[in-house]
């Protein structure tokens, strides 16, 4: 009964969403504030409705209603309650409801603000958010219904449907469910999808305002100012989602790395690339009134990639691009992306003349030119990623021969682009708006560049002779030095003029210019992450060997001795939850005992294995040992694979600093916003002279 | 004049990106082949990066845990998804390939721990090179069992 109620509410929500779209458009045409208000109220009703429907679904999940197909697929009796709740987004059908729920929450939040200054945007923001919500609810209602029951059709096949199809008989409720895949029962995996989704959904808000600006013709930077914080929040969650996913892969998948250039990973990375470019180029529009076309195109692309990413990350196993078409909801997704994308681009073309820059770009080294270059490089990385994903399809169409590209392709093609971005990160903050020359830039930068070169030479003699690594380290050192010197100089200046002590000066400096210094903190964090990424990609070494008890294996400066192996069932509520194989390994560095590691190999009752590495982690690098495939060996002989992942810890340290940087940048600062608006106006008058 | 500078700069970047993409594609392209295609092309593809897939023949799996050397044979399976569907799904196709004694096969050598999913009638997807002796030397070995195919696991779990 509850399943029917949950489904019924979802259907109602679908029509309410459609009503709010229709009423908003009609109200805008008729210039009737009352009808627009009705559309807004309808939209505000969506969140409570979807919440109710979701509550029904969660109740069914928690109380083992296995007659519901989705519940049967993603939960089982042995799962603890919190996992049954999180199973809501553990499968495709449920995650569609989850997406709509987040979308309606954010749309409601944004309409609760005061609209007096931006009345004309309101109907169109409602239209965009409600269409997006309606699309996701519609998918759940018509294609992937989380409340559907299972039936035997005439030929005895199990089919899923809400109401009894003609000639079918109900499947007797199964005694137990399939359960969530054990690999997904990890804290990182429980919060990773919601983080990504939060990031995806928050990007819809700036997109909605961008379209509202295009439709109403109010194409100044007002839409950007309103949504600046939404963009930062979206960026924060998307970044956190990517990092958490990487950490999960590192901890659970047991292949020694955290990023495999898998299409699913790339699908989540692509909106991050356009979003990051957008984040940078909106500053140019705010400060100089330029790059307006760019900003529109970037946010439209981000929205399209968000929808695409949602589809790709939740469409199940994706072994090749061919899998797209095999999913039932694939065509619906592509149609939606196609229609929204073409409509948006048509609007940009329609408003093209109004989106012209207010000033012309003159100097190639001016800050706006460097920001444009930054945008181009981000777009180039995007093109590389997109090419890598679609290349198998193209090659098959053109030559009849399926050819794929793997991680070496992405590393080779994106490496120089990322190096270019790092270089820009070093020079752009010191270039001036409007006009910069080699001489002025050189004067500001040469000390940092020289110091970075010295560091690189030291590293050449003490650490590595690898050219790629040295280039990377030079750029990292350069950006870190430039950025830290910026902090240092501005703080010292403040100490002198304001008579403050160092900490107070630093505090007020950052507090008064949160955006600028938050951005610098983010740049520093990116460099720390780059150290980790460079470390694992350039210096990773691995070895493997089967060890009998007491035997050792050596790699780098380390020696690992296999002491013992314990095998026991892990019981939960009197039931065997999984069978644990746990090895005990002593880790020595140059003969000195460091620690004991416990790599594990767990097998779940359905045969699904899970490889948990033993990890010794320092700032210098990680020793990552896995016990591979217990089944094929005897108790006295176990195969191990050992990785040395130098410097990888800096990636996680950088990630934490990164979040801190975004919080600084996103913290409300009313004062300076007014100041920049005023100074911009002043600038415009002077430009007009 | 000012405009020209930017256009030339833009073209230079575009050229660099196009070059990067094409040279990287050439350097790391992997040819997707079936067992039949490998046997047909023979010597012409020796040493190239290949991605080969087929059905694991259970009886032929040999593993030496001391040297971590794994050898097995795979039987030809079509690479066309529509044909797989038409023939009753992946599990049926893999089964048919393994029990058919006339199906072309190829020997695979892989150095490393034996993966859990390596068993009879699993689908093996490998990257590596074909040796001049006609043996496929796999650098990377991915396995899929049709029964697990439904699970919503990101595909990197198979590494």
CB contact under 8 A, A639 and B63: no
Q: Is the pLDDT of residue B47 over 70?
A: yes
Identify which of B25, B31, B153 has the shortest CB distance to residue A409.
B25
Q: Which residues of A touch B26 (CB under 8 A)?
A: none
Cα atoms in the Cβ-side hemisphere of radius 13 Å centred on A234: 29
Cα separation, A302 vs A268, in Å, equals 11
Residue-wise pLDDT for B88-105, tens only, equals 777 788 888 888 888 899
Instruction: Determine what percent of chain A is predicted with pLDDT higher than 90.
Output: 48
Task: Give which of A557, A553, A556 is closest to A599, Cα–Cα.
Answer: A553
Torsion sign, CA atoms A357, A358, A364, A365? negative
In this predicted structure, the answer to whether residue A255 has a pLDDT above a threshold of 90 is no
Residue A604: the pLDDT is 80
Q: How far apart are CA A523 and CA B19, in angstroms?
A: 28
Contacts A262 to B, Cβ<8 Å: 154-156
Selection from A584, A592, A593 nearest residue A562 by Cα: A584
Name the DSSP letter for residue A163: S
Put simply, whether the predicted model's pTM sits higher than 0.80 gets the answer yes
Angle at A233 between CA A482 and CA A302, to 5 degrees: 90
Task: For residues A76-92, give the mean pLDDT.
Answer: 85
Q: Which residue has the tokens 């990350």?
A: A313
Q: Which of A152-156, A483-487, A598-602, B72-76 is predicted with the least confidence, judged by mean pLDDT?
A: A152-156
CA-to-CA distance for B113 and A115, rounded, in angstroms? 63
Provide the residue count of chain B: 159
Whole-angstrom distance, CA of residue B52 vs CA of residue B146 = 18
Q: Is the pLDDT of residue A337 over 80?
A: yes
What is the Cα gyration radius of chain B? 20
Of A92, A404, A546, Cβ closest to residue B32: A404
Locate A396 and state its tokens. Answer: 């098959």
pLDDT of residue A635: 66
If you average pLDDT over residues B51-74, what whole number do you get? 87
Domain enclosing residue B81, as ranges: 30-158
Please write the tens of the pLDDT for every residue from A259-274. Answer: 888 888 898 999 999 9
Confidence class for position A520, pLDDT limits 50, 70, 90: very high
DSSP collapsed to 3 states, chain B? CHHHHHHHHHHHHHHHHHHHHHHHHHHHEEEEEEHHHHHHHHHHHCCCCEEEEEEEEEEEEEEECCCCEEEEEEECCCCCHHHHHHCCCHHHHHHHHHHCCCCCEEEEEEECCCCCCCCCCCEEEEEEEECCCCCEEEEEEEEECHHHCCCCCCHHHHC
* pLDDT, position B153: 35
Structure tokens at A354: 């109004």
Summarize pLDDT for A560-595 with one digit per residue, the tens: 999 988 888 888 777 777 888 899 999 999 889 999
Instruction: Band the pLDDT of A685: cuts 50, 70, 90.
Output: very low
Read off the pLDDT band of A452 (50, 70, 90): very high
pLDDT confidence of residue A314: 61
The answer to whether residue B14 sits within a structural domain is: no
CA distances from A446 to A232, A421, B155 (A): 32, 19, 47
Nearest CA in chain B to A263: B155
Query: Of residues A264 and A4, which shows the higher confidence score?
Result: A4
The answer to the question of residue B131 being in a domain is: yes
Two tokens, residue A500: 């403050």
pLDDT confidence of residue A432: 81
Residue A19 C-alpha, separation from nearest chain B C-alpha, in angstroms: 34
- Tell me the residues of B at the A interface, defined by beta carbons under 8 Å apart: 2, 5-6, 9-10, 13, 16-17, 20-21, 23-25, 27-32, 51, 63, 65-66, 68, 79, 81, 112-116, 125, 127, 144, 148-157, 159
Q: Which residue of A has its CA nearest to B31?
A: A403
- The answer to whether residue B3 sits within a structural domain is no
pLDDT at B2: 65
Residue B13 belongs to a domain: no
Under the banding of pLDDT at 50, 70 and 90, the label for residue A398 is confident
Length of chain A: 689
Report how far residue A59's alpha carbon sits from residue A109's, in angstroms, rounded to the nearest whole number: 26
Q: What pLDDT was estimated at residue A688? A: 35
DSSP state of A183: G
A144 pLDDT more than 90: no
Least confident residue range of A207-211, A335-339, A599-603: A599-603
In a domain, residue B130? The reply is yes
> What are the strands of the beta sheet with A149-152, ordered from one edge?
A158-161, A149-152, A169-170
- Which of B159 and B45 is assigned the larger pLDDT? B45
Average pLDDT over residues A247-256: 82
In contact, B123 and B55? CB cutoff 8 Å: yes
Q: In Å, how far is B115's CA from the nearest CA of chain A? A: 6
Cross-chain Cβ contact B153/A184 below 8 Å: yes
Chain B residue with Cα closest to A90: B152
pLDDT at residue A448 is higher than 70: yes
HSE (side-chain half, CA atoms, 13 Å) at A188: 16
In a domain? residue B58: yes
Nearest to A203 by CA among A80, A93, A102: A102
pLDDT computed for residue A374 by the predictor:
92
Which strands make up the sheet holding A541-548, listed edge to edge? A541-548, A637-646, A621-627, A614-617
- Label residue A511 by pLDDT band (50, 70, 90): confident
Q: Is the pLDDT of residue A185 over 80?
A: no
| A27: Cβ contacts below 8 Å, ≥ 6 apart | A33, A34, A35, A36, A37, A38, A39, A123
**Of A369, A402, A544, which has the smallest distance from its Cβ to B68's Cβ?**
A544
pLDDT mean across residues, chain A: 87
The helix (H) or strand (E) run that includes residue A246 is: helix A222-248
A interface test, pick of B116, B127, B141 with most A CB neighbours within 10 Å:
B116
For residue A181, the cross-strand partners are none
Q: What is the mean pLDDT of residues A122-128?
A: 95
ipTM score above 0.90 = no
Pairwise CA distance, residues B72 & B135, whole Å: 10
> Do A135 and A85 form a contact (C-beta atoms < 8 A)?
no
Residues of A in Cβ contact (< 8 Å) with B144: 319
Answer for the pair A481, A445: CB distance below 8 angstroms, yes or no.
Answer: no
d(CA A346, CA A27): 23
**pLDDT greater than 80 at residue A640:** yes
User: In angstroms, what separates the C-alpha of B117 from chain A's closest C-alpha?
Assistant: 9
**Helix (H), strand (E) at residue A491:** helix A467-498
Asked whether the beta carbons of B71 and B109 are under 8 A apart, the reply is: yes
Q: Contact A401/B31, CB-based, under 8 Å?
A: yes
CA distance A419 to B10: 18
pLDDT: which is higher, A7 or A290:
A7
Residue of A nearest to B146 (CA): A317
Q: Are A251 and A186 within 8 A, CB to CB?
A: yes
Pairing mode of beta strands A149-152, A614-617? unpaired
Q: Is the pLDDT of residue B3 over 50?
A: yes
Give A315's pLDDT tier (boundaries 50, 70, 90). Answer: low
Question: How far is residue A603's CA from residue A582's CA, in Å, rounded to a whole number?
Answer: 11
The DSSP string of A69-115 is HHHHHH--TTS-HHHHHHGGGTSHHHHHHHHHHHHHHHHHHHHTS--
- A420 neighbourhood in chain B, CB within 8 Å: none
- CATH number for B79: 2.40.50.140
For the ranges A244-248, A333-337, A397-401, B136-140, the lowest mean pLDDT is seen at A397-401
The pLDDT value recorded for residue A630 is 52
Do A413 and B31 count as a contact with CB atoms less than 8 A apart?
A: no
| Nearest by CB: B25 against A316, A391, A416 | A391
pLDDT in the model for residue A682: 44
Please check the confidence at residue A30 and state whether its pLDDT lies above 50.
yes
**Nearest residue in B to A393, CA atom:** B32
As a whole number of angstroms, the distance between CA A451 and CA A431 comes to 19
Q: What is the mean pLDDT of residues A614-643?
A: 82
* pLDDT of A678 over the 70 cut: no
Bridge partners (DSSP) listed for residue A149: A68, A161
Q: Looking at residue A601, what is its pLDDT?
A: 86
Confidence band, pLDDT 50/70/90 cuts, at residue A672: very low
- CB neighbours of A350 closer than 8 A, spacing ≥ 6? A214
| C-alpha angle A406-A411-A415 in degrees, rounded to nearest 5 | 160
Beta bridge partners of B62: B71
């Amino acid at each position: 009964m509850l399943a029917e109620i949950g489904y019924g509410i979802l259907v109602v929500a679908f029509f309410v969403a459609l009503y709010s779209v229709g009423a908003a458009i009609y109200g805008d045409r008729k210039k009737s504030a009352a009808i627009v208000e009705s559309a807004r109220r309808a939209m505000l009703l969506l969140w409570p409705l979807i919440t109710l429907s979701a509550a029904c679904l969660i109740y069914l999940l928690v109380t083992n209603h296995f007659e519901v197909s989705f519940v049967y697929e993603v939960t089982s009796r042995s799962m603890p309650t919190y996992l049954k709740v999180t199973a809501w987004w553990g499968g495709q059908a449920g995650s569609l409801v989850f997406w709509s729920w987040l979308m309606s929450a954010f749309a409601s939040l944004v309409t609760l603000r005061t609209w007096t200054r931006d009345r004309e945007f309101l109907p169109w923001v409602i239209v965009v958010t409600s269409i997006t919500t309606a699309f996701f609810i519609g998918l759940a209602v018509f294609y992937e219904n989380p409340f559907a029951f299972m039936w035997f059709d005439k030929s005895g096949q199990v089919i899923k449907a809400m109401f009894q199809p003609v000639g079918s008989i109900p499947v007797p409720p199964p005694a137990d469910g399939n359960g969530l895949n054990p690999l997904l029962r990890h804290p990182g995996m429980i919060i990773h999808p919601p983080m990504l989704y939060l990031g995806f959904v928050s990007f819809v808000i700036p997109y909605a305002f961008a379209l509202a600006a295009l439709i109403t013709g109010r194409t100044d930077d007002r839409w950007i100012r309103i949504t600046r914080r939404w963009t930062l929040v979206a960026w924060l969650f998307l970044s956190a989602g990517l990092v958490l996913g990487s950490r999960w892969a590192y901890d659970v998948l047991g292949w020694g790395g955290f990023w495999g250039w898998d299409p699913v990973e790339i699908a989540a990375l692509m909106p991050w690339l356009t979003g990051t470019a957008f984040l940078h180029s909106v500053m140019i529009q705010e400060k100089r009134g330029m790059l307006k076309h760019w900003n529109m195109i970037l946010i439209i692309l981000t929205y399209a990639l968000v929808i695409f990413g949602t589809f790709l990350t939740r469409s199940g196993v994706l072994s090749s691009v061919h899998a797209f078409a095999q999913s039932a909801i694939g065509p619906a997704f592509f149609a939606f992306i196609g229609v929204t994308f073409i409509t948006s681009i048509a609007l940009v073309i329609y408003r093209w003349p109004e989106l012209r820059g207010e000033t012309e770009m003159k100097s190639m080294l001016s800050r706006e030119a460097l920001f444009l270059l930054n945008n181009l490089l981000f777009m180039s990385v995007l093109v590389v990623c997109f090419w890598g994903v679609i290349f198998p399809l193209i090659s098959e169409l053109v030559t009849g021969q399926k050819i794929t590209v793997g991680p070496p392709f992405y590393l080779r093609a994106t490496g120089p682009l990322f190096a270019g971005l790092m270089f820009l990160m070093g020079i752009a903050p010191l270039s001036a708006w409007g006009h910069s020359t080699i001489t002025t830039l050189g004067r500001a930068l040469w000390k940092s560049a020289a110091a970075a070169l010295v560091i690189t030479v030291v590293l050449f003699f003490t650490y590595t002779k690898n050219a790629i690594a040295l280039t990377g380290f030079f750029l990292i050192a350069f950006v870190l030095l430039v950025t830290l010197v910026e902090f240092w100089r501005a703080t010292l200046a403040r100490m002198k003029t304001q008579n403050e002590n160092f900490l107070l000066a630093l505090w007020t400096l950052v507090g008064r210019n949160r955006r600028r210094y938050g951005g610098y903190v983010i740049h520093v964090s990116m460099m720390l992450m780059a150290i980790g990424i460079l470390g694992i990609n350039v210096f990773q070494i691995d070895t493997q060997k089967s060890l009998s008890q007491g035997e050792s294996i050596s790699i780098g400066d380390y020696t690992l001795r296999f002491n013992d192996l314990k095998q026991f069932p892990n019981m939960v509520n009197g039931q065997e939850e999984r069978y644990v194989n746990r090895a005990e390994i002593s880790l020595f560095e140059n003969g000195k005992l460091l620690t004991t590691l416990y790599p594990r190999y767990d097998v779940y009752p359905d045969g699904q294995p899970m490889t948990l590495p033993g990890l010794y982690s320092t700032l210098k690098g990680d020793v990552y040992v896995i016990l591979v495939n217990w089944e094929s060996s005897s108790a006295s002989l176990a195969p191990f694979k050992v990785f040395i992942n130098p410097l990888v810890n800096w990636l996680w340290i950088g990630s934490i600093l990164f979040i801190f940087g975004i919080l600084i940048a996103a913290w409300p600062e009313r004062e300076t916003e007014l100041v920049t608006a005023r100074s911009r106006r002043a600038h415009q008058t002077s430009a007009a002279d | 004049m000012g405009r020209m500078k930017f256009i030339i700069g833009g073209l230079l970047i575009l050229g660099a990106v196009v070059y990067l993409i094409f040279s990287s594609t050439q350097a790391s392209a992997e040819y997707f082949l079936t067992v039949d295609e490998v046997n047909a092309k023979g010597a012409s593809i020796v040493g190239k990066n290949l991605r080969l897939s087929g059905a694991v023949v259970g009886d032929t799996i040999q593993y030496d845990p001391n040297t971590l050397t794994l050898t097995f044979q795979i039987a030809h399976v079509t690479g066309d998804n529509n044909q797989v569907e038409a023939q009753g799904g992946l599990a049926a196709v893999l089964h048919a390939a393994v029990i058919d004694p006339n199906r072309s096969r190829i020997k695979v050598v892989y150095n490393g721990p034996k993966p859990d999913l390596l068993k009879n009638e699993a689908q093996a997807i490998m990257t590596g090179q074909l040796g001049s002796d006609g043996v496929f030397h796999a650098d990377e070995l991915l396995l899929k069992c049709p029964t697990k195919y439904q699970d919503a696991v990101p595909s990197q779990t198979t590494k």
